[in-house]
C-alpha cells in the first residue's frame, strides 16, 4: 500500500478547529454573528412554505454535475486526486466540482443562510455540517431538502446503527452521516505513570497546570455534565450550573482552553492530560507519538457527526443523492476512511480496509471502527430548541473559560 495518508498531509492538519470555532472566536462574537443572521426569528423561514417532497423528487431531473462543499482535507486524496470521486464519476458519468471551502459551521451558516432565506442558490448541491446549533437551524428554517430514501438503498443496507435515526434529525430525514468522532480523554504516559479511567482523574493535584480542555463551549459543557452524572442530551439548566461548578473546581489545574492545537500541546508535554478528539489521537499515534493514549472515561464520552445535506435550491439534487448512496458502500467508505481516520459510518468497510487496502492499522483501530460497547457509552450532544436556550448554555460555560 502507499505511504500513510496522515503523514502525507501533515499531522492533524485536517478540519482545523472543526468544533473549536465557538470559543476560539469568542462565544459572544459568535452569538452576535448568529443573531445577525436572524437565527432568533423564523418569520422568514422557508419552513413556513412546505414542499411536497414526494413530488419534488418525482419531478427532479438527473444531471451530470455535482457541486460538493466540504471541509479541507476531509476526503481521500493522492496528490490532489480523490479515488472515491474518480470512481463515482466513472460509475455515474457525473462530473464533481469538489470544493474544500467549509472552515467552521458558524461562518459557513452565516454565509449561506441569507441566500437560502431569500430562496437563492448557494452554488452547492451537497454540504457537510456538524450536528449542532447551525445544523438544527438549517433544518428548522427549511434550508435543506428532505431526502428521498428510496434512492438511498445502500444507506439502508450498510449504515451502522449509530448513524441511523439521530436525535438532531430523526429518521435521517434531511441528512446522512459523513464521518463521526469521539470526544474523550487523551494522556501522555511519559508524564503519567498510572492508568486513567475517569473524568475525576483530571482533578488529581499531580496534574495541576498540565490539564487541557477545549475552548468550544459545547464540548466543555458536555464534559462537565458527564463528570457530574448528567446526560448532556437531556440535561437541564440546573444541571448545567452544577457542571459549571465542577469545571470551576478543575479550573486552577487547567493550563489552557484549546482548539485543535491541543494535540500539539499534548505531544510536546505542555499538557499531560487533555480533552481530545479520537481522530486526532489516532493520527498522532501513526505519526511518531504512538505512546499517546485515548480513553473512553467510565462516565462515557461525547459523539459528534458531520453530515451530508442538500441545500434548498440545489441545482443538482439527484446527483447529490447519487453520491450519498455511492458513498455508503464498504468499498467507497473504506477508501475515504483509510485517509480520513475518524469513525466510519459503514462498519462493513472494516474488512475492505484490512483485506483490500491492506491497512490493518486503520482497520483494527478502535478509534476508527469502535466496538459496540464503546458506542453504547457514547452520548449525543444536546439539540438546542431555540436561541435563548443556546445562549444560556454559552453564558454558563463561557464563564468557566473567562474565570
Looking at residue 4, the DSSP 8-state letter turns out to be: P
Distance CA 107, CA 128 (A): 13
Lowest mean pLDDT among 6-20, 25-39, 336-350: 6-20
pLDDT band at 50 (very low <50, low <70, confident <90, very high): confident
pLDDT (tens digit, 9 = 90+) per residue, 266-307? 999 999 999 999 989 998 999 899 999 999 999 999 999 999
What is the predicted pLDDT for the residue at 403?
86
Nearest to 218 by CA among 60, 384, 331, 338: 384
Nearest to 178 by CA among 258, 111, 84: 84
The residue that leads in pLDDT, 238 or 41, is: 238
pLDDT (tens digit, 9 = 90+) per residue, 11-24? 333 433 333 333 33
10: pLDDT strictly greater than 80: no
- Mind listing the domains of the chain with CATH numbers? 5-180+305-368 (3.40.190.10), 182-303+394-402 (3.40.190.10)
Distance CA 322, CA 263 (A): 36
pLDDT band at 316 (very low <50, low <70, confident <90, very high): very high
* Mean local confidence (pLDDT), 88-108: 95
Q: Which three cell numbers stand for residue 188?
A: 501522555
* Mean local confidence (pLDDT), 103-114: 93
Nearest to 15 by CA among 84, 71, 61, 93: 71
Amino acid at each position: 500500500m502507499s505511504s500513510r495518508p496522515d503523514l502525507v498531509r501533515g499531522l492533524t492538519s485536517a478540519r482545523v478547529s472543526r468544533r473549536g470555532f465557538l470559543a476560539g472566536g469568542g462565544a459572544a462574537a459568535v452569538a452576535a454573528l448568529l443573531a445577525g443572521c436572524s437565527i432568533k426569528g423564523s418569520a422568514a423561514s422557508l419552513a413556513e412554505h412546505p414542499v411536497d417532497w414526494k413530488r419534488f423528487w418525482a419531478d427532479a431531473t438527473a444531471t451530470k454535475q455535482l457541486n460538493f462543499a466540504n471541509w479541507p482535507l476531509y476526503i481521500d486524496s493522492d496528490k490532489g486526486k480523490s479515488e472515491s470521486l474518480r470512481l463515482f464519476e466513472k460509475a455515474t458519468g457525473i462530473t464533481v466540482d469538489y470544493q474544500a471551502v467549509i472552515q467552521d459551521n458558524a461562518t459557513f451558516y452565516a454565509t449561506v443562510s441569507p441566500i437560502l432565506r431569500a430562496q437563492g442558490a448557494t452554488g452547492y448541491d451537497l454540504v457537510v455540517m456538524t450536528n449542532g446549533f447551525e445544523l438544527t437551524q438549517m433544518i428548522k428554517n427549511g434550508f435543506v431538502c428532505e431526502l428521498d430514501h428510496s434512492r438511498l438503498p445502500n444507506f439502508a443496507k450498510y449504515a451502522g446503527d449509530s448513524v441511523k435515526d439521530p436525535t438532531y434529525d430523526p429518521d435521517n430525514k434531511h441528512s446522512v452521516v459523513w464521518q463521526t468522532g469521539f470526544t474523550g480523554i487523551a494522556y501522555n504516559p511519559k508524564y503519567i505513570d498510572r492508568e486513567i479511567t475517569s473524568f475525576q482523574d483530571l482533578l488529581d493535584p499531580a496534574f495541576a497546570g498540565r490539564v487541557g480542555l477545549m475552548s468550544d463551549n459545547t464540548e466543555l459543557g458536555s464534559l462537565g455534565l458527564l463528570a457530574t452524572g448528567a446526560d448532556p442530551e437531556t440535561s437541564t439548566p440546573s444541571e448545567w450550573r452544577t457542571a459549571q461548578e465542577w469545571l470551576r473546581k478543575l479550573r486552577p489545574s487547567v493550563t489552557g482552553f484549546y482548539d485543535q492545537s491541543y494535540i500539539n500541546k499534548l505531544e510536546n508535554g505542555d499538557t499531560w492530560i487533555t480533552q481530545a478528539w479520537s481522530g486526532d489521537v489516532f493520527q498522532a499515534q501513526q505519526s511518531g507519538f504512538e505512546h499517546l493514549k485515548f480513553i473512553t472515561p467510565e462516565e462515557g464520552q461525547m459523539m459528534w457527526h458531520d453530515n451530508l445535506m442538500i441545500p434548498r435550491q440545489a441545482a443538482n439534487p439527484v446527483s447529490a443523492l447519487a453520491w450519498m448512496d455511492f458513498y455508503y458502500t464498504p468499498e467507497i467508505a473504506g477508501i475515504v476512511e483509510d485517509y480520513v481516520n475518524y469513525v466510519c459510518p459503514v462498519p462493513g468497510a472494516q474488512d475492505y480496509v484490512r483485506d483490500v487496502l491492506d491497512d490493518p492499522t486503520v482497520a483494527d483501530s478502535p478509534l476508527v471502527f469502535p466496538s459496540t460497547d464503546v458506542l453504547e457509552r457514547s452520548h449525543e450532544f444536546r439539540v438546542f430548541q431555540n436561541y435563548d436556550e443556546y445562549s444560556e448554555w454559552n453564558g454558563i460555560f463561557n464563564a468557566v473559560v473567562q474565570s
